[in-house]
Amino acid sequence: MVSASWGAWLECRGSGVHVTASCPGYTLTEFHDVLGNRESMNRMPKWMWSTSERVVSKTWRACEADKPQVIIGKVNTIIKTLCHLLPRRWVVGIAPKPIKARGYDSAKT
């Protein structure tokens, strides 16, 4: 989605339409209740979570500033940087169990 958003941002430049990909990380909403994984998500450290108000505020400001992408929080910025620097196999190896359970096979990439 981030790549698609960057493409849309480039296409819309100068038109008055702003496109921003928001990368909020863990956000306190009812989303995990609906998915049924609240218990496992509650094991994540509190410092990794953002409030929905913070996510909306930062995303809105980035969109108004015509930024193609916003990453919410210093921790998520560090994680993004590491994900780009480290081999994909390592990144997948350190991913939380709920993400690994989705069936991603690092051997195929």
What was the pLDDT predicted at 102?
56
What was the pLDDT predicted at 40?
81
What was the pLDDT predicted at 70?
96
Q: What is the mean pLDDT of residues 12-38?
A: 89
Least Cα distance to 9 among 80, 72, 67 occurs for 67
pLDDT digits (tens, 9 = 90+) for 38-90: 888 888 888 888 999 999 999 999 999 999 999 999 988 998 898 889 888 88
State what percent of residues in the chain have pLDDT above 90. 41
pTM reported for the whole predicted model: 0.70
Contacting residues for 68 by C-beta, under 8 A, at least 6 apart:
5, 6, 9, 10, 19, 20, 21
